[in-house]
Chains A and B, each alone.
Chain A
Amino acid sequence: MNNQRQLLESHLRRDFLRRGLTGIGTLALSSLLAAEDRTEAPDPLVPRKPHFAPKAKNVIFLFQEGAPSQMDLFDPKPGLQKWHGQSLPPEMTRDLKLAFIKPTAKVLASPRKFAKYGQCGMELSDMIPEMAKHADDICLVRSMHSEAFNHHPGQLLLFSGSMIGGRPSMGSWVTYGLGSETRNLPAFVALQSGPGTSAGSDLWSNGFLPSLYQGTVLRTGGDPILYLGNPDGITRESQRARLDALRDLNQERQDDTGDTEIASRIHSYELAYRMQMAGPEAVDFSKESPATIEAYGINNKDSKAYGTNLLMARRLVERGVRFVLCMHSGWDMHSGINAAMPKLCAQTDKSSAALLTDLKQRGLLDETLVVWGGEFGRTPMSEIRRPDEADNAGRDHHPNGYSIWLSGGGIETGQVIGETDELGLTITKDKIDVHDLQATILHLLGLEHTQLTYRHFGRNFRLTDVSGQAVKQLLS
């Protein structure tokens, strides 16, 4: 059949029929729950076999929204000192894509001190002392390339493979490809710290995929999942009574109409009921040791929000959540970068490092891919929005030669991939495009990016659009 959606539908239909034939509809709830491990699931989220043996089962994507500055964190550029405060010759800036500044903007050398860390001797900035201790646990890429040089298009490109909206996000593709390991929690979870992101819900959108592949936002205030909590006046016990009545009455309707979709609706309500238990448990840190809470920076007001999300990410992965997207915004430093950079690093450095330590200790790092990165990087030249204010300089968007790091399942760590020229204007070695990164992430999960497709508007779409290649150098 050439239509994926039809395939999905017919798969479901067969499934319902089978269940109908085994008479599951007449089973009492208790036995339904007890029998579930034996009965085939009714939903299309059942774990599916990847295309080949995977290196990683889960992904935690630490999305640094706004585009962190690579030359202040990961990619030392002593060469900028010589040019500091001067414009570069036109032939050097000819091919730059700039958002706000003009090619004549003056160079801004980084005041950050770089040193070598780990056995591998990775050069990193003094802004990230905690992550620096993990130099041997990460693979640093200094040669990332994006076609986009504005936030929303850049974020769309990174997460959906296209600068134009409407396509499924990476987490949705992964869930579509692999299904879910858990029935009690959503397979794809999004966590937010800092102010809202440019792309907003596009980052966890199912696009044109069926909406069950949509990411679910887990919140730190109020209900962890929207509408998870019972309304006032409904207790756990009365919720059960309500659902029991609902199940029996729906069952009546199924007997009358013969519509197997009703069985699926009944099942959804039971899943919801279990989610009501599993959701609060997943976000409940009371059983975490004080040391863990401290390590993630949750006791510190600067790092509390991001740290909380990262600890949550570990707990979710432990509980079978496939793809956790942690978004932290605030990196868009067009001005005042010297003041803003320490602030953002204080919000994030410790927690990112703690996550790696924690995953490693628990043996989860082998099966969990961790990716840290933004939608692009920043210019070696300064952006001056207020010439009349002191130390106001910031950096503009720079999509050619920015840095990200990867760790965990299947990544060859303790290495640096790619190089930029001495000023960080262009990539001089091992350019890795956003689509290559996507292909690599899918590859680590056992998915061949050209085969993970969905038919829509008369053609097959994929996360990597029409390009991309898994980067062998990244793989262990």
Chain B
Amino acid sequence: MSPLLILLLAALAADTPTLPPAATSEVDFARDVAPVLKRNCQGCHGAAMQQSGFRLDDGPAALKGGYGGAAILPGKSADSPMILRAAGAKGVPVMPPAGRRLTAAEVGILRAWIDQGARFPAAMVSKANRQKTKHWAFEPIATPALPAVKNTAWVRSPIDAFVLAKLESKRIAPSIEADRRTLLRRLNWDLIGLPPTPAEVSEFEADTRPDAYQRQVDRLLAAPQFGEKWARGWLDQARYADSDGYEKDWVRPYAFRWRDWAINAINQDLPFNRFTIEQIAGDLLPNSTVEQRVATGFARHTLTNREGGIDDAQFRFEGTLDRANTVSTVFLGLSMGCAQCHDHKYDPISQRDYYSLFAFFDNAEEVDIDAPRAGELGPWLRGRAEYQAKRDALLAEYKVAELQAAWEKDILYTIAHPGERTDWDLAWDCVNKLTEGGDGGKIVRIPAAERTPRERDIVTDHFVKNYHFAVGNKRYKELKLDVATKTLAKLKTDYPQLTQAMTLAENPKPQPSFLRVRGDYKTNGIEVQPATPAVLPGLQKSGKLTRLDLADWLVAEENPLTARVAANRVWQELFGSGLVKTTDDFGTRADLPEHPELLTWLADNFRRLGWSRKQLIRGIVLSSTYRQASHARPDLQDIDPDNQLLARQVRLRLTAEQIRDGALAASGLLAKTIGGPSIRPPIPAGVMEMSYGSRGWGDGWKVSEGEDRYRRGLYIQFLRTSPYPQLMTFDAPKATAAQCKRDRSNTPLQALNLLNDPVFVEAAQSLAVSIVSQPAKERLDWAYRRALGRIPSAKESARMMAYFTEQQRLLSDDTKAQTALAPFVPPSATRLETATWTGLASVILNLEEFITRE
């Protein structure tokens, strides 16, 4: 092209926002087009990188297009997305997004080339692909050789060999073994999440058998509280909560059914590969059992938005993203969220990879099922006929059948004629948002005769409760449907009902799945098929892949990540920090671990142990590495401040739940019932009312009665828009996304919580009563043993007794305070004594040592 022509083109295009015209001369690819592409495009759409799946260094690939579809339409430059972007015309985002823009002349050249057929040289086929990253975590899990060490006496397990070899190379000695009391407390916190009793400590201290420690380990691994403790970490990752999360934040009364499944599975040591498969795809297993379907509830802890008028497609999309993200984070240790909008900048995950993973979940539906717990089925069957008869009579009494039939007709009309009647539009929206126990919008479209009994009940219940949206409150009350709603609900509580479970099921009519351009749910890009990320060893299977295939692949021999990620998380529970510190990120930007071979050995061993979680844990806690004292090592403060070399154990502040459980256990209040619906401990008035959702919780925050009040922290009902304060104050997760590690913060609000929360005050009062039931001389020792598993030092005793004297003096004339601190006085003591001991008990329950696992 002549310089004159270029000038002419530039002049023409200078002030016009429309498309620069095509160059008028014949263009030659090599001479005219290639330099333009090279200068402006191929940095991001070339051999090294193919942003948005688009590449211009390969003819056939370029003509195929990117994630948004074809970009070059031969013969039609004015319609070609590539041209629109290069020119920034018609409101599309301009390319390149930053830096120098294409000149009008350059656009003109590209236009002419496209109009003339968009011909690439035949040889322009690129073999180069996005660079495969060599990354330790993506390497196959082999069996690493054990390093040689000098101090072989210290090595109890291969774990110790890896740790010691590194320490010896740096001339660092490991720490001494912790004393028995500390070891047992540590084991208790780590394995069952509760402190040992004084008797258990004494017994262990007196046990001279060589396998005394191992016996304790095995006892705790077999304890039913093991499942509670280890389920809690899994709940964090599953973003478990007892409510929807958005606005109305409805309570999910049966979420606990999955929690029970998890506790049970962990107690039974369901191998981690099965544990994975059942939660990802239990519904797709041949002849799947109810329990296997309950397991899929793992995916149901996504947030739900029932706000009127929301775009269901958006939240369905967000829910599916969340499922893909959770699986990626929890099992693969890859944070793929970036690839929702574009190819991952650092990790070898393309946007196509991401939506291919997404596609595994895009065809899943939320289905609630009957999932009776032990003992429920018999009574339910026996009461069924009578319940049904009474229900039918009630429905007849309120003429529900006729009213509902007419309502359904109007609803169907409204679906077809939106905007005619705003009141009915609202009623229809409510069918979609407010139906309980199933998808109202779907069921109402099924002809009444073809509905299952369950579906019939769901629609009828919705109708009776929500007819007022269609006809107004006046008419609704005339029909007494408000009364009918209450009577029907009452009837339900009068007869045994089956526990429900939230599960996942596959839509029998598969829908195609699409990549979303820039992560926008409204903008479909290319169609994608379910597939695993290209950078990892793939699935050896043809045909359309299912969720079950994904599940199998996660735990397949070739998968380099799942076993590593799972073993790392177990390690984190036992050492406070993973061997890979970023437990949710095993990608290329994660810090390189100090002990990659050890992690590989653990992962390999985990699989050799048949994916037994208990055996993996057992192996670790039996090691010398685990048994070391947790005292600070001033000699290592500069060399290894984060304890990456593992020359000691660590002191860790307990989790929110453990702090509560510990106080309840020490005070003798703890109720040990396992499983079942969530509970509500007391909280001050007004706390829960700060969210809109609380309006729908009916009874506000009705405090649990009886022993439920004293059950373990993991059973506290978690309402997402008003979480239980103590959990938030002590860093429990917010349950919006998978959380793989908890903070261990240290704040004044925590101090206030432990000093003044009635739950902890009550624990102190209860502990005081037990203390004063002991002989006077033994009381302090007894209190220390009960709470800390040891007796106080002379110095501590002296300080405590000084406080005792002071507290007694302050209380001696204050009978009101005495009564407040000692509402109950055992025969062995006076009120003043008991009240004084409440003060001491409170100090003990606030000790840093009490809320720390050493």
Contacts from A to B (Cβ < 8 Å): 2-3, 6, 10, 13, 17, 98-105, 149-153, 164-166, 186, 192, 195-202, 205, 207, 210-212, 214, 216-217, 219, 221-223, 225-235, 237-239, 241-242, 244-246, 248-250, 252-253, 256-262, 264-266, 268-269, 271-272, 275-276, 329, 383-389, 396-397, 457-459, 466
Chain B neighbourhood of A383, CB < 8 A:
422
Whole-angstrom distance from the CB of B224 to the nearest CB of chain A? Answer: 31
Q: Is the CB of A10 within 8 A of B641?
A: yes
Cα A104 to Cα B631 with chains together (Å): 72
Q: Is the CB of B249 within 8 A of A397?
A: no
Q: Is the CB of B728 within 8 A of A214?
A: yes
Closest B residue to A393 by beta carbon equals B422
Q: Is B160 at the interface (CB under 8 A from chain A)? A: no
Q: Is the CB of B685 within 8 A of A222?
A: yes
Q: Is B748 at the interface (CB under 8 A from chain A)? A: yes
5 closest residue pairs by CB, A with B = A99-B309, A200-B691, A200-B721, A102-B419, A233-B820
Q: From residue 77 to 94 of chain B, which have CB atoms closer than 8 A to chain A? A: none
Contact of A233 with B818 at beta-carbon distance under 8 Å, contacts A228-B752, A252-B795, A386-B423 already known = yes
Cα A211 to Cα B723 with chains together (Å): 14
Closest B residue to A256 by beta carbon equals B631
B582's contact among A3, A103, A149, A246, by CB below 8 Å, is which?
A3
Contact of A200 with B249 at beta-carbon distance under 8 Å, contacts A150-B310, A235-B810, A250-B847 already known = yes
Whole-angstrom distance from the CB of B341 to the nearest CB of chain A? Answer: 8
Q: Is the CB of A245 within 8 A of B803?
A: yes
Taking A199-B721, A211-B729, A231-B820 as given, write out 20 further A-B residue pairs in contact, using a Cβ cutoff of 8 Å, ordered by the A residue number.
A100-B422, A102-B418, A150-B310, A152-B307, A153-B246, A196-B722, A197-B690, A198-B307, A207-B734, A226-B687, A230-B756, A232-B821, A235-B810, A242-B842, A249-B800, A257-B631, A258-B631, A259-B651, A269-B748, A329-B692
Q: Is the CB of B587 within 8 A of A458?
A: yes
Q: Is the CB of B423 within 8 A of A196?
A: no
Whole-angstrom distance from the CB of B198 to the nearest CB of chain A? Answer: 19
Cα A397 to Cα B308 with chains together (Å): 11
Q: From residue 706 to 729 of chain B, which have CB atoms closer than 8 A to chain A? A: 720-723, 725, 728-729
Q: Is B736 at the interface (CB under 8 A from chain A)? A: yes
Closest A residue to B805 by beta carbon equals A241
Q: From residue 807 to 830 of chain B, which have CB atoms closer than 8 A to chain A? A: 807, 810-811, 814, 816-821
Whole-angstrom distance from the CB of A402 to the nearest CB of chain B? Answer: 16
Whole-angstrom distance from the CB of B750 to the nearest CB of chain A? Answer: 6
A-B contact pairs, 18 of them (CB 8 A): A151-B307, A165-B245, A196-B690, A197-B690, A201-B728, A202-B721, A230-B756, A233-B814, A242-B755, A245-B800, A246-B843, A246-B847, A248-B799, A252-B793, A268-B750, A387-B423, A457-B329, A458-B338
Cα A276 to Cα B749 with chains together (Å): 11
Mask of B301-321 contacts with A, CB within 8 angstroms, 1/0: 001010111100000001000
Q: Is the CB of B810 within 8 A of A226?
A: no
Chain A neighbourhood of B722, CB < 8 A:
196, 200-201
Closest B residue to A265 by beta carbon equals B848
Whole-angstrom distance from the CB of B582 to the nearest CB of chain A? Answer: 7
Chain B neighbourhood of A228, CB < 8 A:
752, 756
Q: Is the CB of A261 within 8 A of B746?
A: yes
Contact of A242 with B746 at beta-carbon distance under 8 Å, contacts A150-B309, A195-B692 already known = no
Q: Is the CB of B651 within 8 A of A261?
A: yes
Closest A residue to B239 by beta carbon equals A166
Q: Is B196 at the interface (CB under 8 A from chain A)? A: no
Question: Max chain B CB contacts within 10 Å: which of A3, A205, A241?
Answer: A241
Q: Is the CB of B630 within 8 A of A221?
A: no
Whole-angstrom distance from the CB of B137 to the nearest CB of chain A? Answer: 13
Cα A228 to Cα B849 with chains together (Å): 23
Q: Is B542 at the interface (CB under 8 A from chain A)? A: no
Cα A260 to Cα B651 with chains together (Å): 11
B751's contact among A151, A253, A257, A269, by CB below 8 Å, is which?
A269
Cα A230 to Cα B821 with chains together (Å): 11
Mask of B34-52 contacts with A, CB within 8 angstroms, 1/0: 0000000000000000000
Closest A residue to B840 by beta carbon equals A245
Contact of A103 with B419 at beta-carbon distance under 8 Å, contacts A201-B721, A245-B800, A458-B338 already known = yes
Chain B neighbourhood of A266, CB < 8 A:
848
Contact of A244 with B246 at beta-carbon distance under 8 Å, contacts A201-B721, A259-B651 already known = no
Mask of B734-759 contacts with A, CB within 8 angstroms, 1/0: 10110000010111111111011110
Q: Is the CB of A100 within 8 A of B426?
A: yes
Q: From residue 316 to 365 of chain B, which have CB atoms closer than 8 A to chain A? A: 318, 329, 334-335, 337-338, 341, 346-347
Q: Is the CB of B630 within 8 A of A211?
A: no
Contact of A152 with B247 at beta-carbon distance under 8 Å, contacts A100-B426, A164-B318, A200-B722 already known = yes
Chain B neighbourhood of A229, CB < 8 A:
756
Contact of A457 with B816 at beta-carbon distance under 8 Å, contacts A202-B721, A272-B748 already known = no
Chain B neighbourhood of A212, CB < 8 A:
745, 747
Chain A neighbourhood of B338, CB < 8 A:
458-459
B835's contact among A223, A233, A388, by CB below 8 Å, is which?
A233
Q: Is B370 at the interface (CB under 8 A from chain A)? A: no
B422's contact among A101, A196, A232, A241, by CB below 8 Å, is which?
A101
Q: Is the CB of A272 within 8 A of B749?
A: yes
Cα A226 to Cα B423 with chains together (Å): 43
Q: Is the CB of A242 within 8 A of B684?
A: no
Chain B neighbourhood of A199, CB < 8 A:
247, 691, 721
Whole-angstrom distance from the CB of A424 to the nearest CB of chain B? Answer: 19
Chain A neighbourhood of B457, CB < 8 A:
none
Chain B neighbourhood of A459, CB < 8 A:
335, 337-338
Q: Is the CB of A258 within 8 A of B419?
A: no
Cα A232 to Cα B590 with chains together (Å): 50
Cα A104 to Cα B418 with chains together (Å): 9
Cα A152 to Cα B693 with chains together (Å): 11
Whole-angstrom distance from the CB of B814 to the nearest CB of chain A? Answer: 8
Q: From residue 634 to 655 of chain B, which have CB atoms closer than 8 A to chain A? A: 634, 637, 641-642, 651, 653
Chain B neighbourhood of A225, CB < 8 A:
749, 752
Q: Is the CB of B736 within 8 A of A166?
A: yes
Chain B neighbourhood of A211, CB < 8 A:
728-729, 731, 743, 745, 747
Whole-angstrom distance from the CB of B815 to the nearest CB of chain A? Answer: 10
Whole-angstrom distance from the CB of A467 to the nearest CB of chain B? Answer: 12
Contact of A221 with B685 at beta-carbon distance under 8 Å, contacts A241-B803, A386-B423 already known = yes
Cα A105 to Cα B422 with chains together (Å): 8
Chain B neighbourhood of A457, CB < 8 A:
329, 335, 337, 584-585, 737
Contact of A233 with B817 at beta-carbon distance under 8 Å, contacts A226-B687, A386-B472, A459-B338 already known = yes
Q: Is B440 at the interface (CB under 8 A from chain A)? A: no
Closest A residue to B730 by beta carbon equals A211
Closest A residue to B759 by beta carbon equals A227
Whole-angstrom distance from the CB of A290 to the nearest CB of chain B? Answer: 27
Q: Is the CB of B795 within 8 A of A221?
A: no
Chain B neighbourhood of A202, CB < 8 A:
721
Cα A352 to Cα B757 with chains together (Å): 35
Cα A458 to Cα B334 with chains together (Å): 8
A244's contact among B691, B750, B803, by CB below 8 Å, is which?
B803
Chain A neighbourhood of B282, CB < 8 A:
none
A100's contact among B429, B686, B839, by CB below 8 Å, is which?
B429
Q: Is the CB of A231 within 8 A of B422?
A: no
Q: Is B421 at the interface (CB under 8 A from chain A)? A: yes
Cα A227 to Cα B651 with chains together (Å): 27
Chain A neighbourhood of B318, CB < 8 A:
164
Contact of A238 with B839 at beta-carbon distance under 8 Å, contacts A200-B693, A201-B690, A202-B721 already known = yes
Chain A neighbourhood of B803, CB < 8 A:
241-242, 244-245
Chain A neighbourhood of B756, CB < 8 A:
227-231
Q: Is B425 at the interface (CB under 8 A from chain A)? A: yes
Q: Is the CB of A101 within 8 A of B746?
A: no
Mask of B415-447 contacts with A, CB within 8 angstroms, 1/0: 000110111011001000000000000000000
Chain A neighbourhood of B818, CB < 8 A:
233
Q: Is the CB of A165 within 8 A of B839?
A: no
